[in-house]
Chain A
Amino acid sequence: MTKDLICIECPRSCVLRVCVESCRVVRVSGEKCPKGKDYAVSEVENPRRIFTSTVSSRGLVLKMIPVRTDKPIPKDRVLEAAEEIRKIKLDRPVKVGEVITANLLGLGVNLIATRDCV
């Protein structure tokens, strides 16, 4: 089976022609950089996304602290992650890159702050 995917790795948005056999990518064309092939394989076999959102704070100067996962998480767990982090009330200062929740949802990724906040 052949299908077209739009690569989301960068704003160029390359159209990738992906040849899939028994749920495995066997051939990719149309990519303008090496990220395209990796994306196509991941998107077909195990689609993942960097999850970004905010967590609320208590007693800090910012009401909301922007966060993201330090690695992509399975696409079908993104809504669960959004639900999970709603429980967080951050009450300690953080620096960009600092871990807020380790091993989010047991996925082996950390939730990190993307902005300094005192």
Chain B
Amino acid sequence: MSERQLVVIGGGPAGMGAAISAYEAGVKDILLIERDQYLGGILNQCIHTGFGLSYFKKNLTGPEYAHRFIEKIQAIDNIEVSLKSFAVKLTKEKELIFIKPGELKEIKAKALIMATGARERTREMIHIPGDRPSGIFSAGLAQKLINIEGLLPGEEVVIVGSGDIGLIMARRFILEGAKVKAVIEIQKQSRGLARNVVQCLEDFNIPFYLSHKVARIYGKKRVEKVDVVEVDEDLKAIPGSDFSLACDTILISAGLISENELLEAAGIEAGNISIPGLFVCGNAYKIYDLADSVSRDALLAGKQAAEYLKGLG
């Protein structure tokens, strides 16, 4: 088992920011592992603008925002980047096992930063009854299919929940020639930013139903339609307010949850880490609205890891 000063798990905005910040604070041996074949994480599929307004004072797309960090990392010899590397096990002693093509690696880290990002809430988590046909995607998966793979998941779309990714994807489907039948939000206000309601929905006259929910999904093989119903203050269905929307695709945009499976499997509570030298940052720590905030968080994590390592002497 080899030993490293600092291991960072995740090569998205959090991991890249943390690695750079730790280096700048004096750490000279850093291993950054990323499961994808590129650095950048979810930024690579976020092709819209709105990134960097506070961090760089510039309006950048996700890939451009990532590019600034990637260039910096590539210029730092002390940061070793291991791509296609998937962390499978972590222990309380900060021992990490990860796999990469043809290899299984075991590493003991003096300090370790978890920058594993988040997962999307699924249909199962928001309890929509009905059939279980194909054609139901999380908003971020649809984003990956369109923007990375060049595949259009469907042609008539209903979006459940008004998270930012769902709003962004409403516009994205329109630009790709699909129809967006409606965005359905159970709460009284949008979950996503007001600017996204304006530039993604209103710009394209997409119906936005607040205080509504999808009551049922229908479809034998593929999604065929959904029932939508208005809800009252207690989020209960108002009888007689229901209507149907024909569609072949449903996107779920109901928010993110921190990805902390490695910690949980190690018996470490993600929200209350008491292991010296172990840090969590970015969306793995808490869900941020903006990548800029993730970068700020990562900066802090990198500094703290550096301070911890200095303390070890």
Which residues of B does A touch, CB under 8 Å?
Answer: 44, 47-50, 53-54, 59, 61-64, 67, 146-150, 174-177, 193-195, 197-199, 203, 289-290
A114-B47 in contact (CB<8A): yes
Identify which of A53, A54, A68, A115 gathers the most chain B CB atoms within 10 Å of its CB. A115
Report the nearest A residue to B61, measured CB to CB: A114
The reply to whether A11 and B203 contact each other, CB–CB distance below 8 Å, is no
Looking across the interface, which residue of chain A has its beta carbon closest to that of B63? A115
Shortest CB-to-CB span from B48 to chain A, Å, is: 5
A68 & B290 in contact (Cβ 8 Å cutoff): no
Interface check A7, CB cutoff 8 A: yes
Tell me the complex Cα distance, A10–B199, Å.
12
Beyond A64-B147, A79-B175, whether A49 also contacts B203 by CB under 8 A is yes
Greatest chain B CB density within 10 A among A8, A68, A78 is at: A8
Q: How far is the CA of A10 from the CA of B47 in the complex (A)?
A: 16
Set B47, B176, B194: member contacting A66, Cβ < 8 A:
B47
Contacts of A52 in B (CB 8 A): 47-49, 61
CB pair B203–A96 under 8 Å, yes or no, is: no
| Contact in complex: B63, A50 (CB < 8 Å) | no
Interface residue from B44, B174, B194, B203 paired with A115 (Cβ < 8 Å)? B44
Complex CA–CA separation, A82 to B150 (angstroms): 14
Considering only CB atoms, which chain A residue lies closest to B66 in the complex? A115
Q: Out of A7, A50, A53, A96, name the residue touching B59 (CB < 8 Å).
A: A50
A116 in complex: contacting residue of B53, B59, B67, B174, CB < 8 Å: B67
Range class of the A interface residue count = 20 to 34
- B47 CB → nearest A CB, Å: 4
Quick check: B63 and A96 within 8 Å, CB to CB?
yes
Can you identify 30 A-B contacts, CB atoms within 8 angstroms?
A: A6-B197, A8-B195, A9-B59, A10-B53, A10-B54, A11-B50, A11-B53, A11-B193, A11-B289, A13-B195, A50-B49, A52-B47, A52-B48, A52-B49, A52-B61, A54-B147, A54-B150, A62-B148, A63-B150, A64-B150, A66-B61, A66-B63, A75-B203, A96-B67, A114-B61, A114-B63, A115-B44, A115-B63, A115-B67, A116-B67
Q: Which of B50, B54, B149 contacts A63 (CB 8 A)?
A: B149
Closest to A115 in B: B63
Q: Kindly supply a per-residue 1/0 record for chain A positions 50-63, scoring 1 wherever the CB is within 8 Å of any chain B CB and 0 otherwise.
A: 10111010000011
- A6 and B59 contact, CB distance less than 8 A: no
Asked if residues A78 and B198 are in contact (CB atoms below 8 Å), the reply is: no
Residue of B nearest to A63 (CB): B150
Smallest distance from the beta carbon of B58 to chain A beta carbons, Å? Answer: 11
Chain B residues within an 8 Å CB radius of A67: 47
A8 and B199 within 8 A (CB): yes
Decide yes or no: A64 and B198 within 8 Å by CB, A11-B50, A53-B175 being known contacts.
no
- 1/0 per residue, CB under 8 A from B, across A99-116: the answer is 000000000000000111
* B-facing residues in A35-88 (Cβ within 8 Å): 49-50, 52-54, 56, 62-64, 66-68, 75, 78-79, 82
* Assembled-state Cα–Cα distance A18/B115 (Å): 43
In the complex, what residues of B have CB within 8 A of residue A82's CB? 175-177
| Residues on the B chain within 8 Å of A7, using CB | 195
Inside 8 A of A49's CB, which chain B residues have their CB?
199, 203
**Set of chain A residues within 8 Å of B53, measured between Cβ atoms:** 10-11
B61 close to A64 (CB less than 8 A): no
Q: Assess the A13–B47 pair: CB atoms within 8 A.
A: no
Candidate in B49, B54, B149, B290 with the most chain A CB atoms within 10 angstroms: B49
Q: Give chain B nearest CB distance to A104 CB in angstroms.
A: 14
Contact with B along A1-34 (1 / 0, CB 8 A): 0000011111101000000000000000000000
For B203, the closest partner residue in chain A by CB is A75
Which residues of A sit under 8 angstroms from B62, Cβ to Cβ?
Answer: 66
Contact A56 B63 (CB under 8 A): no
